[in-house]
Structure formats: C-alpha cells, structure tokens
Amino acid sequence: MGKGRILIKGPRVQDIGYRLFLLNLASESNITGFQARNIDKDCVEVLYEGGEKETKMFLGKVKMLAPKEAEVFSISFEEYEGSVKSIEVFRSEFTTVQLGKIVEIGLGMLGKQDLMLEKQDIMLGKTDQMLQKQDSLLEKQDIMLG
C-alpha cells in the first residue's frame, strides 16, 4: 500500500478546478483513498492511499499534469501516516460543496439579470418617449410644410 501527502504551491492553484482535476487523476489511477483541500491562499493539499502500482501511476500524473489555468511553483511529496477518506466519500462531499457554490453563483447571476432587465425597461421607456417626441415634431413639420 502507498500512502502520502502532496503539497502543490503556486499563485494559481485555487479556484481553477485543481481539486476536481486531482480527483479525476486519482480516479483514473484507481486510488482508493483521496482527500484534497485548499490551505493558505496558494496551496492545495492532497492525501492519497492505494496500491503501490496505482499510487506510482497517480504520482506520475500529478508531477506531469495540471489544469490549463494553473501556475505551480512547487510540488512536494511527503509520507503520511494518518487516515485518508475513501475516494467515494470524498467525491460525494466534494460534489455537494461544489453544487452549493454553483447555486450561490446562479442566484447572484439571476439578481444581476433582474437589475439588467429593470435598466433595460427604463431605457425602453425613454426610447418610447423619444419616439413620441419625434412623431410630434414630424407632425408639426408636416403642418408647416402644408
């Protein structure tokens, strides 16, 4: 069995989907235990556990691959003796947290959309007023020309 801790540091390792990326790498490598969390403002911590072959494959992928938006300064690998959640439990918890974030963002977007629609309605009202004034001016012009 292989077990360890990975610290990924850099200016862009959070809020870019790095933990989901790592979860997918762990899943592809058949890792049985996995946890990932953001620590500090520039670090992602990963705990992993699995068979020797699987962990070797996972660590190789972590060294070679990163999300497109990532800016990584260092990746360090350490031994770890503590417990690691099963990958299924982590995936379930992670999915729930991410869905909560999506709901918050969606509600914020709906609020902004409502504001935009209100402003658009005001603008349409002013456009209608302007067109009425133009019609009035054209009527007066027709009278003057007649």
Instruction: Give 20-79 pLDDT, tens digit per residue.
Output: 999 999 999 999 999 999 998 999 999 999 999 999 999 999 999 999 999 999 999 999
Note the pLDDT tens digit of each residue in 83-142.
Answer: 999 999 999 999 999 999 899 999 999 999 999 999 999 999 999 999 999 999 999 898
Angle at CA 129, nearest 5°, toward 123 and 134? 125
CA–CA gap between residue 68 and residue 24 (Å, rounded): 15
Strands 33-39 and 43-50 come out as antiparallel
The CA distance from 5 to 75, in Å, is 10
What average pLDDT is seen over the chain?
95
Confidence label for 1 from pLDDT (cuts 50, 70 and 90) = confident
Q: What whole-number percentage of the chain has pLDDT above 70?
A: 100
pLDDT (0 to 100) of residue 91: 96
**What is the pLDDT at residue 146?**
80
Q: What is the DSSP letter of 81?
A: -
